[in-house]
């Protein structure tokens, strides 16, 4: 009887040891597995994702080469140029942050939706609102978010949220780096309200602050309404 008890105890100890080894190994491999799942395209990469990268960069004036799906020197330098102009690390590698800025879905390689309520779009719109309309009335913050979405539906502008926001020269917050300012909760709330359909701008696709505007052309846009310091226009 004592022998049977000892054998049972031995088996239990072995089972526990195996389970402990499995758990420890799994935890050790988590960072590795996550790293493997990370998506990045760099010099020498090829395929449909590279075609999307080249197409976006070409449409926005960063890339003059052929859209051939081959990540060569011209693509590398174009990516670096795009990154340097949009507050990203200019390393020439199209990783998650750069792909998101280009409007390319990092999970499937497809273009992100222009008006979808994904968390990526919420936070990107919130960052733009935060950089452009911090301190403005809440209605004005939502109106800035609505302008972004209105542009995605206008054929004169890119059809995705990242495309609109990162279109060269479109928003001051991108140029002066204010898009990376400390986030305020009201900016996130305003982004969600805009994505849920509230448009205090009245369908505007432009807005500007008369006190800081440097373009005479913007004054020619038909005025819809004034909210806080911003004039919202067609």
| pLDDT tens digits for range 63-94 | 999 999 899 999 999 999 988 888 788 999 99
Contact 133, 125 (CB under 8 A): no
Q: What does DSSP say about strands 230-233 and 223-227: parallel, antiparallel, or unpaired? A: antiparallel
Mean pLDDT confidence for 27-52:
65
Distance CA 110, CA 22 (A): 36
* pLDDT tens sequence across 137-195: 999 999 999 999 999 999 999 988 999 999 988 999 998 889 989 999 999 999 999 99
User: What is the predicted pLDDT for the residue at 8?
Assistant: 66
Beta strands in 146-219 (DSSP E): 206-208
Contact 109, 148 (CB under 8 A): no
Beta strands in the chain (DSSP E): 206-208, 223-227, 230-233
Residue extents of the structural domains in the chain: 1-37, 48-94, 119-233
CATH superfamily of 119-233: Cell wall hydrolase SleB, domain 1 (1.10.10.2520)
Place 1 in a pLDDT band, splitting at 50, 70 and 90.
low
Residue 119 pLDDT > 80 = no
Whole-model pTM over 0.75: no
DSSP assignment of 24-45 equals HHHHHHHHHHHHHH---B-TT-
């Amino acid at each position: 009887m004592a022998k049977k008890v000892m054998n049972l105890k031995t088996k239990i100890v072995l089972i526990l040891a195996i389970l402990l080894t499995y758990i420890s190994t799994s935890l050790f491999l988590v960072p590795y597995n996550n790293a493997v799942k990370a998506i990045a395209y760099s010099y020498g990469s090829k395929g449909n994702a590279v075609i999307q990268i080249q197409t976006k960069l070409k449409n926005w004036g960063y890339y003059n080469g052929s859209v051939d799906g081959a990540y060569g020197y011209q693509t590398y330098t174009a990516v670096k140029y795009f990154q340097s102009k949009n507050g990203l690390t200019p390393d020439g590698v199209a990783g998650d942050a750069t792909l998101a800025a280009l409007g390319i879905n990092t999970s499937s390689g497809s273009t992100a939706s222009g008006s979808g309520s994904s968390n990526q779009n919420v936070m990107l719109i919130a960052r733009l609102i935060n950089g452009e309309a911090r301190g403005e009335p809440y209605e004005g913050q939502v109106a800035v978010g609505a302008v972004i979405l209105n542009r995605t539906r206008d054929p004169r502008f890119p059809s995705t949220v990242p495309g609109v926001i990162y279109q060269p020269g479109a928003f001051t917050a991108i140029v002066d780096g204010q898009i990376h300012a400390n986030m305020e909760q009201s900016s996130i709330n305003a982004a969600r309200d805009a994505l849920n359909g509230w448009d205090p701008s009245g369908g505007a696709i432009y807005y500007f602050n008369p006190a800081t505007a440097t373009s005479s052309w913007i004054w020619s846009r038909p005025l819809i309404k004034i909210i806080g310091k911003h004039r919202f226009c067609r």
